[in-house]
Structure 1
Amino acid sequence: MPLQDHSAARYLDPAAPLDTRVADLLDRMTTREKVGQLNQRMYGWDAYRRTSAGDFELTEALHAETERFEGLGALYGLMRADAWSGVDHGDGPGLEDSADLADLVQRHVLERSRLRIPALFVEEVPHGHMALDGTVLPVNLAIGATWDPALYERAAAHAAAELRARGGHLALVSALDIARDPRWGRTEECFGEDPYLAARLTEALVRGMQGAGERFAADKAPVVLKHFAGQGATVGGRNSAESELGPRELHEIHLPAARAGVRAGAAAVMAAYNEVDGLPCCGNRALLTGLLRERWGFGGLVMADGLAVDRLARITGDKVSAGALALDAGVDLSLWDEGFTHLAEAVERGLASEAALDAAVARVLRLKFRLGLFEQPYTRRAAVPVDAGRELSTELARACVTLLHNTGGVLPVGPDVRRVAVLGPHAATTAHQLGDYTAPQRPGTGVSVLDALRRLAPPGTDVRHARGAALTGADLTGIPEAVATAAASDLAVLVLGGSSARTPDTQFDANGAARTVVSEMTCGEGVDLAGLRLGRAQHTLLDAVTATGTPTVVVLVQGRPHAVPEAADRAAALLTAWYPGPWGGEAIAEVLLGLTEPVGRLPVSVPRSADRLPVHYNHKDTEYGSYVDGDAGPLYSFGHGLSYTTFHHGPPRWAGHTVEVDVTNTGTRPGRSVVQLYVRRLRAPVWPRTLELRVFRSVELAPGERRTVAIHLGADQLELVGADLETVVPSQAVEIRVAVSAREALTAVPLVLEVGRDQSLTAPDDTPL
């Protein structure tokens, strides 16, 4: 295609205002070019192949796609590597040549574009960039267990820098799903069950990845927050099922994280698969336009989830009208769909308006201008220290390990323990520490629990190993060896759990979700469970090892809270590490040996069994009765987590505009306490919840140290969703309860405050602020 001279065009002037540049470029575009900007049809791994010489060449499929729309709006997963894409170290882009591949594709796109419009390279960054040699972080559920937004912000900034240094632009990150049913395989992608905790971590994600300012720095990446909205509440914990949510539940539980992300400046959100009250999110104008854009003032990009637009044909009748419905609802950029490829036809037939088409194109172009792609379309190569990524991943892993009980007092491992048996299917492997959406790892990457204990244990410690059982199935042949090893030891460390490791024999749906699982995959997208038990052989191994009489520490490596009440009853100590990443084994060993203090707190309530769901703490304040045949409460409650020391928390007191709590380390070791402030409403315009987390603060104390923790309490901590679904601060009485878990907050000494009509706060014998 002959190139035209647009050198004097306003859209090419970097000094011109963004709105001027967008309007000028939009005015020059044909309908065909506009539609091309809204399509993200290709899988990125189909755009290239590695030659026998070791370099990359572009495929005919990419040539056909850029010819179809005279350019390319966006390309998904150019660097994605996993069992679904089929990309591995032998044929995919690694750390050394990802930028070369990105620049090769970008050069081709610019040559095919009459107006020299660059493409957006969209990449999965669920817990680090999902690319070969990318830093793998602990999964989101583990991030939630840290209760440390500042640490997560640092890790998010590193992930953004890695992405941009390799040629990627836009980061897809799960943040908005709230874990309400642990049977759902994507529970690992949630920050937890609580909207406040998720909102604070979502803010940290946006700040860390995007930075500040209208234009993105070379080491910052715009974030697409997934998934909007209510996907964590699908019926039965089944992936992509309907969400039976009333408007209030949606607003109170499933929207706060999204609202926090929008307020923090998130560049984009992804419309979810599920429907809410009969309207699929991708076709829900009330959600995407009425709420997100008009009420919240969001001016960024809305991307559809993979093939979600085409699903709308179930209610529109065909894919052309499905694309028109999604566009009218507020979707700007499709993902693999056919429906958006027919938008020109939809406009001609009057199914979609040209104004809606132009508005969507303008949002795509604006993001490209904010990234500076018209001035610098090629990768600004920068060295991002690999060691820094590993250190951050390990630091997060340390912070997420949560000590659930230590009734036997066996932890930390004492000097009299000379023989340690390390057992279980997770003991000697790192593959199951990684979580779903993880690229293949190079041999030798990561540290297992066994290797870390052998390296870190005091000299002379005999660390023995027997696997004992597989993750799945009922093969018991390895249990006698494990039992003998445990019986001959002073301490048994039994590492159990689940796995989200995809393998080449896993079968996938068209959107990449696991369909027929034929490996040890027990969690992840498409891997939903009817029950929450571990594999049969794992339970048999647990029973046999604890029956030896050897003190046993159970460590759970998992992407959801499994129901293992036997460990609570029989093990001397119980920890959960979630999926802690490649170096999680090192973090676990450090905690076991007392080299690191356990500081994690539960981001979800742990159920006793799948037949006693739900168990989330923030249910409605009703007569929440038990069952005749069992306790309805959780095994361990939201916010719970022990230390190797003890703390005393004094009663809360009102001091000016702050709540003050004295925290004392009453033990013999340093430690971290997470002070959790819950609100219980005594009167409210709508039916209240039993408790609502509204603030949390971490305090690190030396043995015997006492510190006053001051928590500012303002109207924003006391707001609720009113009768009209608008956020209000009702002039009603509230109880402030400060505790170390939701369960303890139920019996904590309350501080009663009155909220005045002017939103002033008063306590007994106080004057209004």
Structure 2
Amino acid sequence: MSLPRYRDPAAPVPERVRDLLGRMTLREKVGQLNQRMYGWDAYTRAGGGPRLTDAFRAEVAAFDGMGALYGLQRADAWSGVGFADGLDARDGARTAEAVQRYLVEHTRLGIPALLVEEMPHGHQALDGTVLPVNLAAGATWDPGLYADAVAGAAAELRARGAHLALVSALDLVRDPRWGRSEECFGEDPYLAARMTEALVEGAGRAGVAVVLKHFAGQGASVGGRNSAATELGLRELHEVHLAAARAGVAAGAAGVMAAYNEFEGLPCVANRYLLTDLLRGEWGFEGVVMADGTAVDRLVRMTGDPVAAGALALDAGCDLSLWDVGFTRLDEASERGLVSEEALDAAVARVLTLKFRLGLFETPVPPPVPAAGRLPDPAELGERLAAASVTLLSHEGGVLPLSRTPGAARRIAVLGPNADSLERQIGDYTAPQRPGTGITVLDGIRAAAPPGTEVVHARGCALVGDDLSGLPAALAAAASCDVAVLVLGGSSARSGDTAFEANGAAVTGTGTPTGMTCGEGVDLADLALPAGQRALWEAVSASGTPVVVVLVQGRPHALPEVPAASASAVLSAWYPGPRGGRAVADVLFGIAEPRGRLPVSVPRSAAQLPVFYNGKDHRYRGYVDQSALPRHAFGHGLSYTSVEYGPPRLSAATVDAAAPRLTCRVTVRNTGSRPAHETVQLYVRRLTGGTSWPRVRELRGFARLDLAPGTEAEAVFTVGHETLASVDRALRLTVEPGEIALETGPASDRTREARLRITAAAG
């Protein structure tokens, strides 16, 4: 007896899909579009090792199959899973195998499930590698290093049997009051696009497919309010918020997640223009569209009942639900004529196509990776990523790098609420860490300090509030030391005291959840550091001891004017991950040079928002009471040496719009005494012409140069269609005639220009 066509691995995927689809009942089809169950409810450890639950068996029986299972390996405060009842790497792989074996052996057609896991900055599982958050990855401006780190983390996820990684990549920090700023690569579409490509490529090396979150425009929510409305128009959407998605789709992303926000009056999960006309029609995307958690059921406010809500999302182009009731009743929607058979089959076909392409029917659980084929250690790569992200914002008096001369009598005070807290440097969407693991900033400084150095520690104040009971001890420590390292910032650490929404976001309103000042659901109206931290900074600065401020944070906090007497240096370390303390210490002591560059603009206050660098160029003069410019501009970052940039040199002064091609060169010289790791940035600024009002400038390239003291090197940019294109009236990327300035420099506010004329295509 021959195997069914869909069981033949040699058959083309479209034929296998068509054969399997033709064998399915309506209820089985509906089951393939559902991802209703929380994965941690699919197993229990009661009475010994993990085993599948009756709830899992009932979910499978309800549809004679399962489309996808979310979060089998997930562990955190929201899921309630920890080391006592969760899955380590070995048990995780075994449980994934048990899930697939049950589906194959106890369903009529034996269709395996997609096992879907969160991989926001490493795999969110017990003993999974935690990488620096995306905002830190963006601060490296190093897609290659990020791709390597992603590959290692994805290999862990795949070894546990999962296939799909959910990763925030598409949102932009247009308002840093938004609690999910840490999940973004930055404020700029070009930088986000390059990092998104690296994400998809890196995960693909480990055989993991990526679902990109969130499509589209979620970072433009009004007031930085989570899941709130946006006021985006089509042009703003295309010019700013679609670049990363377009790049990720072109790089081979398996899916996109429809965001919570609405666009043009419709939530993204019900927006046919976004999910069908644009994504599939214009871009040719053939992957799956997944709803964000409970997003389908939120449509009941529009439709009046969950059946119609599910039908609305399916008709718009959503293929796979997440924790929703609406999609479980798509058979009712079909019977009521709310969805067509063609639309239902098309969604099922996309899910099945992904399963076939991932090889689920042949190897639902991957074989062990041989030692010779293992990818680099992701924890080590995460530490390198953290070191590359540390950004030197200001530096006066040459206090850095700290001396490493052995035997020199020296005392260092390490102060502040984030100096010795692992949980506050690892960010949101993070599994519990085993006791004794990780390296805090205090640990890192103690390890890096040369013999004979005494390191003293005092917290000084709490993370939030104005309790300064610890201030006297901190002042005494600072006064007795040669330098004070003040570690301030924020925290996205969840705890058992945190209350959660149904989708896992922290519950907020009036007041802040215990220990959290950032993270999903934790938005701020005021971006200033909390009162206690500001008071500690001021008091320690007044002690006369040189002060180095390290900001461990998930968003750019608004920084006051920092005179030299207040702080000798200010650095941003973002959330650098479990080994981030050593990465910070390496930069402080000059073991590593500061390489980070700002992926976001740092505001002076929340009152001046927005401050992103690439706004429309209406030549606004500024507020009466304060500057409209940021404290530190996008792309800014200092080093321990000095560099000089020559002017940009173009290979042509005029190009044809139909086939523009030239090179832009700039010479950079290290004029100091230490190595320089320079990120040379290329911007485009329209001077005349075009069909839309121009932006101030737009990033269109960057290159890294490593320069020994006294040497120079040349950054060379190939300038073509992608560099010069802008969104025309038809919302297409087009090279339009006119005059532009190609600008190069170390930051968006420190550039030199060369002018280029673009002529209309002949004929």
TM-score bracket, normalised by the shorter chain, equals over 0.9
Determine the C-alpha separation between the residues in 1 that align with 2:409 and 2:34: 61
Q: Does 1:208 align with 2:202?
A: yes
Aligned residue in 2 for 1:21? 16
Determine the C-alpha separation between the residues in 2 that align with 1:110 and 1:506: 39
**1:148 paired residue among 142, 158, 166:** 142
* Paired residue total: 744
For 1:68, the aligned partner's letter is: A
Q: Does 1:402 align with 2:391?
A: yes
Q: Does 1:120 align with 2:114?
A: yes
Contact 1:621 1:690 in 2 (8 A): yes
Aligned residue in 2 for 1:378? 365
Give the drift of 1:759: 9.6
Q: Does 1:161 align with 2:155?
A: yes
For 1:661, the aligned partner's letter is: V
Per-residue CA deviation, residues 602-645 of structure 1 (Å, 9 max, x unaligned), is 00000001111000000001022211111111000000000111
Determine the C-alpha separation between the residues in 2 that align with 1:161 and 1:755: 46
Aligned residue in 2 for 1:253? 240
Give the drift of 1:234: 0.3
Determine the C-alpha separation between the residues in 1 that align with 2:593 and 2:70: 41
Give the drift of 1:195: 0.3
Aligned residue in 1 for 2:543? 548
TM-score, length-scaled by structure 1: 0.95
Per-residue CA deviation, residues 41-96 of structure 1 (Å, 9 max, x unaligned), is 0000011110332x112111111100100011100000000000000011100122
Correspondence list, 1:197-346, <5 A:
197-211=191-205, 219-346=206-333
Determine the C-alpha separation between the residues in 1 that align with 2:238 and 2:306: 31
Determine the C-alpha separation between the residues in 2 that align with 1:36 and 1:387: 38
Determine the C-alpha separation between the residues in 1 that align with 2:588 and 2:484: 11
Determine the C-alpha separation between the residues in 2 that align with 1:303 and 1:469: 43
Contact 2:617 2:696 in 1 (8 A): yes
Q: Secondary structure at the match of 1:364?
A: helix
Correspondence list, 1:360-379, <5 A:
360-379=347-366
Q: Does 1:411 align with 2:396?
A: no
Correspondence list, 1:13-162, <5 A:
13-53=8-48, 55-162=49-156
417 and 724 in structure 1: CA distance in 2 versus 1, 3 angstrom threshold: farther
Q: Secondary structure at the match of 1:356?
A: helix
Give the drift of 1:563: 1.1
For 1:194, the aligned partner's letter is: D
Contact 1:234 1:241 in 2 (8 A): yes
Per-residue CA deviation, residues 677-714 of structure 1 (Å, 9 max, x unaligned), is 11010122210101000010010110011112111111
Determine the C-alpha separation between the residues in 2 that align with 1:417 and 1:544: 25
Contact 1:499 1:558 in 2 (8 A): yes
Give the drift of 1:387: 7.7
Contact 2:96 2:161 in 1 (8 A): yes
% of aligned pairs identical?
63
For 2:30, the aligned partner's letter is: V
Give the drift of 1:417: 6.9
Give the drift of 1:137: 0.2
For 1:421, the aligned partner's letter is: A
Determine the C-alpha separation between the residues in 2 that align with 1:734 and 1:417: 57
For 1:413, the aligned partner's letter is: L
Determine the C-alpha separation between the residues in 1 that align with 2:129 and 2:734: 42
Q: Secondary structure at the match of 2:636?
A: coil
Contact 1:422 1:493 in 2 (8 A): yes
Correspondence list, 1:586-601, <5 A:
586-601=582-597
Correspondence list, 1:515-534, <5 A:
515-516=507-508, 517-534=512-529
Determine the C-alpha separation between the residues in 1 that align with 2:670 and 2:252: 39
Determine the C-alpha separation between the residues in 2 that align with 1:52 and 1:549: 61
Aligned residue in 2 for 1:767? none
Determine the C-alpha separation between the residues in 1 that align with 2:90 and 2:12: 36
Aligned residue in 2 for 1:615? 611
For 1:49, the aligned partner's letter is: T
Q: Secondary structure at the match of 2:275?
A: helix
Q: Secondary structure at the match of 2:682?
A: strand
Contact 1:417 1:490 in 2 (8 A): no
Contact 1:102 1:379 in 2 (8 A): no
After superposition, the CA RMSD in angstroms is: 1.4
Aligned residue in 2 for 1:736? 742
Determine the C-alpha separation between the residues in 2 that align with 1:456 and 1:555: 16
Aligned residue in 1 for 2:681? 676
Q: Secondary structure at the match of 1:67?
A: helix
For 2:703, the aligned partner's letter is: R
Q: Secondary structure at the match of 1:347?
A: helix
For 2:330, the aligned partner's letter is: L
**2:169 paired residue among 143, 157, 175:** 175
Aligned residue in 2 for 1:650? 646
Aligned residue in 2 for 1:391? 380
For 1:480, the aligned partner's letter is: P
Aligned residue in 2 for 1:661? 666
For 2:85, the aligned partner's letter is: D
361 and 339 in structure 1: CA distance in 2 versus 1, 3 angstrom threshold: same
Determine the C-alpha separation between the residues in 2 that align with 1:62 and 1:568: 61
Q: Does 1:582 align with 2:585?
A: no
Q: Secondary structure at the match of 1:96?
A: helix
Q: Does 1:717 align with 2:723?
A: yes
Give the drift of 1:383: 6.4
Aligned residue in 1 for 2:655? none
Determine the C-alpha separation between the residues in 1 that align with 2:482 and 2:409: 6
Aligned residue in 2 for 1:753? 756
Determine the C-alpha separation between the residues in 2 that align with 1:426 and 1:452: 13
Determine the C-alpha separation between the residues in 2 that align with 1:29 and 1:381: 33
Determine the C-alpha separation between the residues in 1 that align with 2:248 and 2:294: 24
| Structure 1: gaps (5+ residues) | 212-218, 761-769
Q: Secondary structure at the match of 1:135?
A: coil
Determine the C-alpha separation between the residues in 2 that align with 1:536 and 1:349: 58
Moved over 4 A (4+): 383-387, 566-569
69 and 180 in structure 1: CA distance in 2 versus 1, 3 angstrom threshold: same
